[in-house]
Each structure stands twice: as C-alpha cells, then as structure tokens.
Structure 1
Amino acid sequence: MEGKILKQRYLLKGKLGGGRLADTYQAEDTQMGAPVAVKILYPEIASNAAYIGKLEAELKVAATLRHPNITRPLDWGSEGELYFVVSELITGQSLREILDGGEKLPPQRAARIASDISQALEVVHGHSLVHGGIATNNIFVSDIGEVKLMDVGMAWVATGRGTPQFISPEQAQGLAVDARSDLYSLAVVLYEMLAGRVPFDAPDTQTVVYKLINEVPAPPSSTNPTVPATLDTVVVKALSKDPALRYQSAREMTADLLHYLEGPGVPVVAAPVEKKSSHAGIWAALGIIAILAIAGVILAIVFAGGGTETVQVPNVVGMKQDDAKKALEDGGLELGNIEDQYITSQSQEVGVVVAQDPAAGTSQDKGSKVGVTVTAELAMPNVIGLSQDDAVSNLKKAGVKVVEVNKTPVDQAQAVGKVVTQAPSAGTLIDPDTSVTLEVGEEATQAAVPNVVGLSQNAAEEQLEGAGFAVKVEEASSTEVPQGNVIQQNPAANTEVAKGTTVTITVSTGPPAS
C-alpha cells in the first residue's frame, strides 16, 4: 500500500496502525504539501453499501466542525475497491499508549482530559451527531499537549464494532443510542485514567457485555484512594445503566468536571433536603400564597387571549437552506442568522444546514427566529499573471482575508509586477482564514558569473553562492583535472545573468576506471 497515490493527491507513506474499522497510514497531501492521515476501511466494511451511506452522511457534517479538541475529516472517497477517509495528522500518543500497563493519571490531569473531550462532544452533539466509538485508542494527546478526539463522523454505531469495554449498555444491546451513550463511554475513559483499569473486563466479549449490562461498577477510588469524592460522583453518575440517570448533555458533564478542576466542592447531583427553622412554615406559606397569586394573574392573561403561543422547533439539520426556511415557516418560526461552514472536499454538498440554534425539540415563542449554519464553497481563484493589486483585490472579493506577498527575481520583463506563483493552487478548497501566499516578479539584479573552473567543489560553491547564485553539482571523470575540482561551469565565467540563477558545475571524479 505504501507509495500508492489516492485521488491523484494523497501519497501513502508508512502504516501507523490498525483499528476496529480501518488501517491508518501517514500520507502527504501533494496538492497542499501537508502531512495527513488516511484510513483505508477493511474490505468487509467498505463493501457494506448501507454503512457507506451513513458514513458519508456523517462525514459531511463532521467536516464542518471547528473545535480545538476535534480532529475532523478533510476528504473521503473510493478508488477501485478501496474506501478511504483523510483527516488531519496528529503526532503524539493515544491514551491507550499512555495508559498501557495499568498506568494511572493524576486526578487533575484525568479530569482535564475528560473535560476537553466533553467540550468537544458539546459541538459534536450540537450538530446532531453521536460519536459511538469513544475509547482510549481514539483520544490523542499531541506532542504539544493538545487533547484530540479522533474518528468523529465514522458512523461507529452503524458498524456494531465499538470497543466492548467502552460502549454503553444500550449500544451493547443494539438499542437506540443518543448523546448520553457517548457520555457513558467518556466516563469509562475517565475511569481507566483514574483507576488504571476499565470498570468491566474479561477474557471474552460475551462476559464483558454481561457485566456492563448487569453489574454495578465500584467507584474509581476503590482502586485509587487519591481519587476525590467529587470525581467519583461524576464517574458514577455518567456510568448509570439508565440513560435517564446520567448527565443529560455534554454541557452538564463539562460543568461538573470544571467545577472539580476550579476548586473544592462536590457537583450538585440532587438538591439536598434542608432542615427548616421554626419560621420555615410561615415563610413557606407566604411563598405558596405569592406563587398562587402570580399563577392566577398568568391564567387570567392566558384565558383573556393575552398569552404568548409557543411552538416546538423542528429539526432542519440536513435540509437545503430553502427547505429549512419553509419548514421553519410552516412551524410558525422564521429563518434567522445564517452562518457559513466551508466545505473541505468536493464530495460535500453545498447549501446544506449542518447546525441550528435553538436546537430541535426546544420550545420557542411563535414568530421567533432560528439561526442556521449552512455549508458553503470557497475555491482558490487563479491569480497567476495578474498584477499584485488586481490579484489581491480578486482574492479579497472572493472572501480571502489573509494574503502574503513575496518578491521573487524574474528574467522576463513581462513577468515583472505580476503573480508568478500562488499557494494554495487554483481550485483548492479553502476558507476565508486560509493564508494565501503570492510570489510577485521583480526585475532581477544582473551580475557576472565568477570563474570557478579548476577550484575545489567547496571553494566553487562558496564563491558562487557568495555572489548570489544557486549551485547545481554534476560529476564526470577526467584524466586532466584532479578529483574533487571543477572541470567546467554553465553559464560560463563572466556571463551577465540574473542573481539567483542556477550555475551548474561539473566536478571531476578522477580518471575513468580501467
């Protein structure tokens, strides 16, 4: 597989490893000159048309996500019998590698990693995605300490190949899953970071599944006494068998993790029952009277026809913008602010809603506005041959915000003041924050080429480079010129050429072998 080029763009290099869905390779995006990771799906998965359909639907949404703790897909497609997914390349270690051998992390460090992933899940779930495959092998800590959630959009639930020790009870039983299933899996990851082992394990998958469905896990502190009660509470709540007893959103779990990290105290799981003073009954009675009075006023307003009608926000994620507008209007709402998410692959559809605010299912006053995020396309314009001013103007009109201009010497007079190279190349999908670099021609300074014939290679290179020329070295045998000395040069000595021109020197290898 190494050396293979996919889509005439992605050059496969060394294999990084294999997982439950695919083999992963380090690769080079030859169009952008950037390192990437390429997953090659296993044949039995790639041949499942139903799965590929779900995969591509999720990848289209995942590619629009922007969060520092999410590694997003960049491109995907098939070539022959191969199906591949391209993503950002993260160099570092997976949590699996860090925790191998029963290693434990300090509670603060474990909670920080968990909170980073929980915040990433807020974004994932806000786009109506469920990861479905969270485990220690797809959470990475980069070389600079960034925590990254991998494999977002890989449609794990559809494969049935989640890691048994990390999936939720409902996922193990093939039941419907939602965001709370991901929170269960994250709690297993947090448990292993704290305790050095997962809550349920066994030599065979069947026993693991039986345990996670039927047994109650001991808190992490039973294995690691340094784990505080605050963190025990977070883990135990998120590991509840019943999804209704877990955190109901990633935002809730994040809040409790940050509460632990920012200071002492225990997250509020249930309101405590307070002891009432002798005056408590009086104040309670007055409170009830006040509430009833307010309720009476509200009821009076409603029955008089003065109440505000509320409607439920429909789910418009996945719809085209015009269809979403109509669905909202049919439901008594209006289309509000529209934000762009720029596609990163031609396989992604433009004009599709990938997020909405407020979320589907929430109640809003009739006539309220619902903001949406819609996929958009920005292809790098071709500005080669244009003047610097025209090129920059065209890029700004297209939406590019960052343009860097460098000067480069040119021989042809017609190229002076014109763009001679651009990066990224024309047609490349970019977003407004992509940094664009233009090389604009300037008149080359002419200089005479020094005479280096007969000099040693080192002396010749030093003299040419000092005069402002590039050097190319070729070798040839010679019975007249000593080994290591220059036989000839091109351009010839004293020729007037532009500085920066490459001068080729031929260096003697000595007499030819007899």
Structure 2
Amino acid sequence: MEDRRSEFGKYRIDSILGEGGMGVVYKGYDPLIARVVAIKTIHNNLLEGTLGNELRNRFRREARAVGRLTHQNIIAIYEYDEEKVDGTPYFVMEFVEGREINDCIREGESFSLERAIGIIEQVLSALGYAHSLGVIHRDIKPANIILLENDRVKIADFGIARVQDLDATQLGKTRLKNPDLTQAGMVLGSPRYMSPEQCLGREVDPRSDLYSTALVLYELVTGTKAFSGRSAHNLAERLQNPIPPAPKTDDPKVLNLYNRVLKKALAKEPDDRYQSAEAFVDALRSFAAPGRRPSGANVPWRWAAGAAVLLVAGLSGWFWMEQGTGEYVPPAAIIDTSKQVEPLSPEQEKKVTRLLRVAKTHILVGRLVSPMGSNAYYAFNLVQQIDPRNQEAANGIRTISVKLEQQIEQLIKDGKKDKAQDLITEGLKYFPNHPALERINQTFEKNG
C-alpha cells in the first residue's frame, strides 16, 4: 500500500477515516473555503494492468454518477482528480459524522417499526431522485446507508452505479476475479442484497434497487438477515425463492408489513414489484397510517383569510392561502418576514445559485412537478430550505402554478387526456385547492 500522504492536491490530510482492501478514505480539509471533507482513493497496487484500468474507470464513474446528484440523503461529491506525481485517482466528498446501519445492527441496536420505515422512506427518496436522473445504485445494503443525528440518512458508495443515459461501460456485465472486488465469476454487488436479476447478471433497472431496499427493511424490522448465503453457490435456492420466509415474531405489525408490503417489494419478477420508489413510499405510508394521503400531500392543509403571514412549508407538506384578492397563491410564494434568518455562507450561496439555475432549466423543458426529485418545484423548494426568504424561489413556485395549468390545457388540446389527468393528480399534491386544477379535475371526473 502507498505511503501515508499529507495532502492530495490542495487538500490537507488530517486523519484516516477508513481503510480496506480497495483503498483509503481520509478526513481532509479544504483551506480555500475552510471546509472539512472526505477524500476517497484507491491503492496504487490495484491500478496496474487491464483490471487496474477497469477499477480506475469504475472509480471515475462513481464520481461522475454522484457528481450529478444533489439530494439531502445522498453524500455529495465535490471534485474528482488524479495526483500529478503518480496518477492516483481520488475524489472529494461531503464529510458526514454517523454510523453505518450495518454497524448499528451488528452492535445489537433494535429498530422499531416506525423508525425503520422512517429510515427507508429517506432511502427511497434518494433513490427516486437518482433514478429520475438515470442513476441506478446497484449496491444498496446496510453498510452503504449512513445514519446521522436524529435518524437522518445518507446513502454512500455509488461505486458500481449504472448511469443509464451515459455512454459508459456497463460493469454489471463484467466478470471480475479479484476477491477484493466481488466473488469470483459474479457480477459486481453484494450477493445477500442483490435482486434475482442482478444475481443472474442480467440488465437491471431501478426496480432492482427497490428489491435491495426491501431486504434492508426486512433486516431492520426483524433483526436478522433475509438470506444467509455468502457466495454465488448459495444463491441457487434463493433464486427460486426470492421472498424470504415470514419473520419469526409475535408482533402483528411486523407480520402485517411482511404480508402487505414486503412480499410485493420482494417479488421475483420486477414487473410484480413496486414500479417506482414513490410507489414504494406510498405503500409504506399507507401501511403506517391508513387513509393517509399520497406522498407530497400527506400533511394537513388549511385555509387562512386575508394577507396574513404563512409559514413556508418544507418537503413534508404544504399549506394553502388565498389573499384578499381571491387570487390563488402557492404557499411557498408567501415569505414569512417576521422570522430572523442567519446570513448565508459562501457555500450556501453557491448551492442556491446552482439550484436556481437547475430549477430554471427544468421550467424551460417543462419538468414542473415531475419526475419525483428532479423537477422545478423540487429545486425551488431546496432553495427555500437553505434561504427561506429567497424571493426568486418564491416567484418561481408561483410561476409553476401558472405554467402547470397551461401545460395541462395544452395536453387536453392535443388529445393527450391520460397525460393531462396524471399531471393534474401530481399537481394537486403540490398545490392543494388550486382552483384551475380542481376545476379541470372535476370536469374529468364528471365526464368519466
């Protein structure tokens, strides 16, 4: 292994966070903007020959894949580079202090049903966002889910992610023989948590990640791994029976979760599973609180008269307000000026600028409220979480409410009524009681 370093490029190395057969993760410091970071590298002795080039490409792909993603539940990658002296590749990422869920389980920590579902909802939120940008993780497992303070979640290690819309080598089809990478003759991944199609080396899509997530949920609520096999040779029976046995528990809620949600999520055929992360989340929320509204509209809303101050809502729910003019005003277009807010840091200002640019691009291409996690509304909302008084974000959300109506009317005019109905349903999640959307929706319901 290479000698310990004191720096990588402009980054100072402070300590080692972790080390394995593949490489080292350092705790570093960016002196230019006074930011603590994590720096991930590969051991030089693994970078030789054809396999070494393959590893380097895989490493670069992880940086490219995650570098596209800006989500609160995904560890962000800031930069990729290679050392000028010896060519060692490294990338710089967000530094987080937390524990791998794998460690929590190994140390005997128990997870209540409610807590487990809350964790998995965050995982699915991150995956839904990544999937909307064409990124499939392909290695969801407890070791790649980091639990932070207050049970906030960060997903790590997109090292074998597949980027669907990039012309990159599909490592999922490459058979590697280095045990540090994977089992001999197996595709990349962790056999205990891979979907049946991934175990067989077939092409995978987002539903493979959802299967793996369901296995993690099973482990959280039962305290045991769904499957015990460690190598490819132990997988034959599992491929025939990909749904783990019913949990050995007297807790009726856990058994109910298994029967109502997990069996579907763990179906052998992808077409029989939940078809999106959002659908999986909705099933969990429906299970946890029967009668609960679908995701995006699951918190009570209320009426308020006049031009009173309205709290700007976060991701979990929305309020609605009608000013004295009778004009519909999206909730996030009203700014609470009574609250004191701290000045933004340079890093926050940079992130706000980037998110506003992303939001405007989404509006230009018509991605107003969908797909989940990759649309204009979502980007403006992230801005408001950082800067609650950002007028540009407030105006942008107001613009979306207008353009959404125009987009729906154009779809109806073009005879695309099914798409119009889908967009109305999605729009009402974010703009409850939007007069125009309700009116169009009532017309659809009346005409069948």
Q: TM-score range by the shorter chain?
A: 0.5 to 0.7
> Aligned AA for 1:30?
P
RMSD: 3.7
Q: Distance in 2 between matches of 1:19 and 1:183?
A: 27
Mark the CA change 1:371 to 1:232 in structure 2 (over 3 Å): closer, same or farther. closer
Mark the CA change 1:46 to 1:90 in structure 2 (over 3 Å): closer, same or farther. farther
Aligned-residue offset at 1:12: 2.2
Specify which of 238, 248, 266 is matched with residue 222 of structure 1. 248
TM-score (normalised: structure 1): 0.49
> Aligned AA for 2:286?
H
Specify which of 136, 139, 149 is matched with residue 143 of structure 1. 149
1:166 has 2:193 as partner: yes
Structure 2 residue aligned with 1:31: 32
Q: Distance in 1 between matches of 2:376 and 2:57?
A: 24
Q: Distance in 2 between matches of 1:220 and 1:182?
A: 21
Q: Which moved more, 1:219-228 or 1:122-131?
A: 219-228
Mark the CA change 1:261 to 1:21 in structure 2 (over 3 Å): closer, same or farther. farther
**Partner SS, residue 91 of structure 2:** strand
Matches within 5 A, 1:230-241: 230-241=257-268
Q: 5+ unaligned residues in a row in structure 2: which ranges?
A: 163-169, 172-180, 182-186, 295-354, 378-385, 394-448
**Partner SS, residue 222 of structure 1:** coil
* Aligned length in residues: 285
Mark the CA change 1:46 to 1:173 in structure 2 (over 3 Å): closer, same or farther. farther
Q: Distance in 2 between matches of 1:224 and 1:52?
A: 49
Structure 2 residue aligned with 1:252: 279
Aligned-residue offset at 1:97: 1.0
- Spell out, residue by residue over 1:453-487, the C-alpha distance to the aligned partner (whole angstroms, 9 max, x if none): xxxxxxxxxxxxxxxxxxxxxxxxxxxxxxxxxxx
Structure 1 residue aligned with 2:204: 177
Structure 2 residue aligned with 1:116: 122
> Aligned AA for 1:176?
E
More helix by share: 2
> Aligned AA for 2:247?
S
More strand by share: 1
Mark the CA change 1:207 to 1:224 in structure 2 (over 3 Å): closer, same or farther. farther
Q: Distance in 2 between matches of 1:12 and 1:56?
A: 21
> Aligned AA for 2:357?
D
Q: Distance in 2 between matches of 1:229 and 1:236?
A: 10
Structure 2 residue aligned with 1:73: 77
Structure 1 residue aligned with 2:335: none
Q: Which moved more, 1:176-185 or 1:233-242?
A: 233-242
> Aligned AA for 1:75?
E
**Partner SS, residue 174 of structure 1:** coil
Structure 2 residue aligned with 1:397: none
Matches within 5 A, 1:448-467: none
**Partner SS, residue 247 of structure 1:** coil
Matches within 5 A, 1:5-404: 5-7=7-9, 9-18=10-19, 21-43=22-44, 46-47=47-48, 48-50=52-54, 52-53=56-57, 55-57=59-61, 59-79=63-83, 80-101=86-107, 103-152=109-158, 155=161, 158=171, 160-202=187-229, 204-223=230-249, 225-226=251-252, 227-263=254-290, 340-341=357-358
Q: 5+ unaligned residues in a row in structure 1: which ranges?
A: 268-337, 343-351, 363-369, 374-400, 403-431, 434-514
**Partner SS, residue 65 of structure 1:** coil
CA contact (8 A) 2:65 2:158 kept: no
CA contact (8 A) 2:227 2:244 kept: no
Mark the CA change 1:143 to 1:372 in structure 2 (over 3 Å): closer, same or farther. closer
Q: Distance in 2 between matches of 1:103 and 1:243?
A: 32
Q: Which moved more, 1:158-167 or 1:109-118?
A: 158-167
> Aligned AA for 2:7?
I
Q: Distance in 2 between matches of 1:44 and 1:171?
A: 29
Q: Distance in 2 between matches of 1:224 and 1:255?
A: 26
Aligned-residue offset at 1:241: 1.5
CA contact (8 A) 1:191 1:220 kept: no
TM-score (normalised: structure 2): 0.55
> Aligned AA for 1:229?
N
Q: Distance in 2 between matches of 1:63 and 1:341?
A: 14
**Partner SS, residue 151 of structure 2:** coil
Mark the CA change 1:50 to 1:218 in structure 2 (over 3 Å): closer, same or farther. closer
**Partner SS, residue 89 of structure 2:** strand
**Partner SS, residue 247 of structure 2:** helix
> Aligned AA for 1:215?
N
Structure 2 residue aligned with 1:413: none
Aligned-residue offset at 1:234: 1.7
Mark the CA change 1:206 to 1:78 in structure 2 (over 3 Å): closer, same or farther. same
Mark the CA change 1:154 to 1:161 in structure 2 (over 3 Å): closer, same or farther. closer
> Aligned AA for 1:212?
R
Identity within the alignment, %: 26
Q: Distance in 1 between matches of 2:365 and 2:261?
A: 29
- Spell out, residue by residue over 1:383-418, the C-alpha distance to the aligned partner (whole angstroms, 9 max, x if none): xxxxxxxxxxxxxxxxxx99xxxxxxxxxxxxxxxx
Mark the CA change 1:236 to 1:101 in structure 2 (over 3 Å): closer, same or farther. farther
Q: Distance in 1 between matches of 2:237 and 2:291?
A: 33
> Aligned AA for 2:251?
P
CA contact (8 A) 2:27 2:39 kept: yes
